[in-house]
Amino acid sequence: MTTLNNFRTQVNTSISINRISHDNHIVFMGSCFSDSMMKYFSNYCFSVFNPYGTIYNPITLSQNIKRAMTENMFSEAELLQNEEIFLSWFHSGKYFNQSKNLLLNTINQQQLKLAKLINKNAKFFVTFGTSKVYEFLENNQIVANCHKKPNSKFKNRRLEISEIVKSWRSILNQINNTVIFTISPIRHLKDGFIDNNKNKATLFLAIDQLCNEFDHVHYFPSFEILIDELRDYRFYASDWIHPSNEATNYIWNKLSEQIFSKDTFLLIKKIEKIRNDLSHQPKFGINKAYINFISETLEKIKNIKNQTKNYDWSKEISQINAILNK
């Protein structure tokens, strides 16, 4: 008899990696889908870091990493000015400042931190968004973001598979960090359906070649889970492009099954209980029962602090102490 579970095609999500624990640092970079996954890791008290903000193309990412590895800092010549705001051609609009010196200090500190995390054997979670790039005509440099400059200042083209492979191979030959590649399931429909698929196909083939060349490089099929397994507009946000919360949660659960040990799962459950406790709103105000309840939550945090040494619990502890000291 056919069961309800058979009414979808399930994607094989198995990847062979050393399990990730709370002792690891995890670097996220790439498209906004990477940020979506990072929020889950952060919520469960993993040490996470995104040095560049949202960047869709793989070449800017690889060039930035190479610079971090050699501590080749960004310079004033690599900034642009929009009215009173300075931005970087190699970062998302997340990084801006009215002072170019302060902006340079921020992005270069990020580079130094990334270099340290590479040396600490941090895990990498890298999401490619598109193989379409924009080259600034003044210097033929591929940029991370056009920052609302006129289209006439750029040439756009699709990367060659060999360009992506060559750029990332030069990094992967020098590091032993575990790298998990994904392809963003978010469609770039401004390019049209056909060009979007061509751009994604280029990414697929480039990652496949890198996975075949390097034992420490892996692929997780987030794209396939949304497009082929969930395969329904119920799993999209209201723009019909981005995955819904239900979809990202489903993908997170699928990823968790592959990368965490049983001990890490148990710790995640404890953290989830603490998060639920902290969001609890007392029905009858802050009475004795609630004081006892929140005091127990504080003890739960103290009991797992040694298991989450890379996470700073000070915000949660301050929240509880503010209640207890009323």
Assigned token pair, 95: 């990084």
**pLDDT value, residue 16:** 84
pLDDT reading at 1 higher than 70: no
Instruction: State how far the Cα of 236 lies from the Cα of 222, in Å rounded to an integer.
Output: 14
Q: How confident is the model at residue 5 (pLDDT cuts 50, 70, 90)?
A: low
Nearest partner of 90 among 151, 143, 146, judged by Cα = 143
Q: Return the bridge partners of 164, or none.
A: none
- Residues 19-78: pLDDT tens digits? 999 999 999 999 989 999 999 999 999 999 999 999 999 999 999 999 999 999 999 999
Which part of the chain has CATH 3.40.50? 19-260
Contact 123, 178 (CB under 8 A): yes
Task: Give the mean pLDDT of 297-302.
Answer: 96
**Which amino acid belongs to residue 39?**
K
Look at residue 274 in the predicted model and tell me its pLDDT: 97
Residue closest to 135 by CA, chosen among 118, 160, 156, 120: 156
> Is a pLDDT exceeding 90 seen at residue 8?
no
Convert the pLDDT of each residue in 193-248 to its tens digit.
999 999 999 999 999 999 999 999 999 999 999 999 998 889 999 999 999 999 99
Longest Cα pair distance anywhere in the chain, in angstroms? 68
The pLDDT of residue 6? 61
Nearest Cα to Cα of residue 168 among 140, 201, 199, 208: 208
Q: What is the mean pLDDT of residues 313-326?
A: 92
The pLDDT tens digits for 125-156 are 999 999 999 999 999 999 999 999 999 999 99
Return the CATH fold of 19-260: Rossmann fold (3.40.50)
The pLDDT of residue 326: 75
pLDDT of residue 4 exceeding 60, the answer is no
Mean pLDDT, residues 248-262 taken together: 94
- pLDDT category at 7 given cuts 50, 70, 90 is low
| Three-class secondary structure of residue 241 per DSSP | coil
Is 249 strand, coil or helix?
A: helix
Mean pLDDT (the chain, rounded): 94
What pLDDT sits at residue 187? 87
Q: Considering only 23-32, 214-223, 259-268, 279-288, which range has the smallest mean pLDDT?
A: 279-288
Mean pLDDT score, 273-285: 91
How many C-beta atoms surround the C-beta of residue 136 within 10 A?
Answer: 16
pLDDT at residue 306, as a whole number: 93
